[in-house]
Amino acid sequence: MKLLIVGAGGREHALAWKLAQSPLVSGIVAAPGNPGIAAIGRCVNVAADDAAGLAALAARETIDLVVVGPEGALAAGLADRLATLGIPCFGPTQAAAQLESSKAFTKDFCVRHGIPTADFKVFDDAIHAKAYLGTREPPFVIKADGLAAGKGVVIAETRREADEAVDQILFLRKFGTAGQRIVIEDFLPGEEASLFALCDGETAVFMGAAQDHKRAFDGDKGPNTGGMGAYSPAPVVTDAVIADAMERIFLPTVRGMAADGAPFRGVLFAGVMVTAEGSKLIEFNTRFGDPECQTLLRRLDADLLPVLHAAATGTLSSAAPLVFDPRPAVTVVLAAQGYPEAPLTGSIIRGLPEAAAHEGVEIFHAGTRRDEDGMLRAAGGRVLNVTAVGDDLAGAIARAYAAVDAIDWPGGFCRRDIGWRAL
């Protein structure tokens, strides 16, 4: 099979790395890809959210399966376009991608299908939103409805902050049209985890759990980011938590989407709060997490291609089960100085081959570019991912940081405490 991988980050490099190991793969094209992926497949300069351009590329290249990394192309209808061309797509249609692209859609869906989530209300005007805040207890959770790159959520400790967030989103359009509507929901105490399930429109298969670190700096300080590191498995996600999440979140979602006429194919990523009364859904994403994906795929002890193809073509129930290396894996994200507000790009990165030679370590490119002078330079906010597997979590962490320290990149930084909460 000839594959098209859509995206340019560490998640897509990890997908390419894992899929390239499959004996069933004859070639990999990536759009737009990155210098890490370029060592595995051919990169074509089509933007990751250009649904029309990507569909045309898939047709031109006679692609057998399109694997979509980021949400943009899904929300723009890439899977719908590929369906009309008869090209299987690992990733949901535009209608099914609303599970990520609209929080209001998802909350209503949860109510209709009995999926546990925080109590909420949806508003498009500030007066009613603030009146509702007056009836709730702090902390207040205020979310922009649409896609806001993980930044559209405000947790406000006081009424004043909450009112301000409402004004910022609804009046001042801090998140643009993504903030035309807001969701106000109750705060859920508990421990957070990311759970993944492959879905084929009818059924779902659990694909592992991870914990992410969203804040930029050690000790969960600083601004929110796309994710500064992850580890898997997540100790809080016991077998009982998995069974409960399949029973009360994933399976009802796949069945509910099918019943509503928008079957979900691809990977469903549930951000859940593990509470005393079982798991509650915080949000869905309709794609793999980044960097959770790198950590999960490092542990996958099976050919990834057949299961992605089965999910894309509605045949998951007859696919081989997913087998995971029981050993833990951890991913440390190296970001450019200034990330997330204003990452400084262009700084030179050296020492990757030496770092990648460390035992148990894989290095994925996230935001790099290779210039004509042959130099590798920072070209984004999150720039490199160092993923390591170890006999135990402490061992995986030690290996990851030993490799991080072998990278010569003064223009970058990373958190030094990835995974330490689980130790």
Residues that bind ligand GLY (CB under 6 A): 150, 212, 226-227, 285, 289-290, 292
Q: How many CA atoms lie within 13 A of 241 on its CB side?
A: 26
Among 61, 163, 200, 283, binds ligand AMP (CB under 6 A): 283
Among 50, 100, 145, 185, binds ligand AMP (CB under 6 A): 185
22 vs 285, which CB is nearer to ligand GLY? 285
Give least dist CB 289 to ligand GLY, A. Answer: 4
Stretch binding ligand AMP (CB under 6 A), from 32-40, 160-168, 187-195, 292-300: 187-195
Contact assessment for residue 221 and residue 215, using Cβ atoms and an 8 Å cutoff = yes
186 vs 303, which CB is nearer to ligand AMP? 186
Question: b/e map of 201-219 (b: 16 or more CB within 10 Å)?
Answer: bbbbbbbbbbbbbbbbeee
Among 187, 324, 401, 420, binds ligand AMP (CB under 6 A): 187
34 vs 225, which CB is nearer to ligand AMP? 225
136 vs 327, which CB is nearer to ligand AMP? 136
Give least dist CB 11 to ligand AMP, A. Answer: 17
**What's the longest Cα–Cα distance across the chain?**
61
User: Which residue is closest to ligand GLY by CB?
Assistant: 227
Q: Which does 100 bind (CB under 5 to 8 A by kind): ligand GLY, ligand AMP, none?
A: none
Interacting positions 193-232 with ligand AMP (CB under 6 A): 214
Give least dist CB 143 to ligand AMP, A. Answer: 6
3-state SS track over the chain: CEEEEEECCHHHHHHHHHHCCCCCCCEEEEEECCHHHHCCCEECCCCCCCHHHHHHHHHHCCCCEEEECCHHHHHCCHHHHHHHHCCCEECCCCCCCHHHHCHHHHHHHHHHHCCCECCEEEECCHHHHHHHHCCCCCCEEEEECCCCCCCCEEEECCHHHHHHHHHHHHHCCCCHHHHCCEEEEECCCCEEEEEEEEEECCCEEEEEEEEECCEEEHHHEEEECCCCEEEECCCCCCHHHHHHHHHHHHHHHHHHHHHCCCCCEEEEEEEEEEECCEEEEEEEECCCCCCHHHHHHHHECCCHHHHHHHHHHCCHHHCCCCCECCCCEEEEEEEECCCCCCCCCCCEEECHHHHHCCCCEEEEECCEEECCCCCEEECCCEEEEEEEECCCHHHHHHHHHHHHHHCECCCEECCCCCCHHHC
Give least dist CB 421 to ligand GLY, A. Answer: 16
Q: Which does 226 bind (CB under 5 to 8 A by kind): ligand AMP, ligand GLY, none?
A: ligand GLY
Among 271, 314, 351, 395, binds ligand AMP (CB under 6 A): 271
Give least dist CB 384 to ligand AMP, A. Answer: 23
Give CA 157 to chain center in angstroms: 27
Give least dist CB 314 to ligand GLY, A. Answer: 26
Give least dist CB 226 to ligand GLY, A. Answer: 6
Give least dist CB 118 to ligand AMP, A. Answer: 4
Give least dist CB 214 to ligand AMP, A. Answer: 6
Residues 6+ apart with CB under 8 A from 191: 236, 273, 274
Give least dist CB 165 to ligand AMP, A. Answer: 12
13 vs 377, which CB is nearer to ligand GLY? 13
Q: Which does 412 bind (CB under 5 to 8 A by kind): ligand GLY, ligand AMP, none?
A: none
Q: Report the alpha-carbon distance of residue 194 to residue 133 in Å, rounded.
A: 28
Q: Which does 282 bind (CB under 5 to 8 A by kind): ligand GLY, ligand AMP, none?
A: ligand AMP
Question: Is 236 a residue that touches ligand AMP (CB under 6 A)?
Answer: no
x/- map, 108-147, ligand AMP, by CB under 6 A = ----------x----------------------x-x----
Among 150, 222, 235, 351, binds ligand AMP (CB under 6 A): 150
Binding stretches for ligand AMP (CB under 6 A): 118, 141, 143, 150, 153, 185, 187-188, 192, 214, 271, 282-283
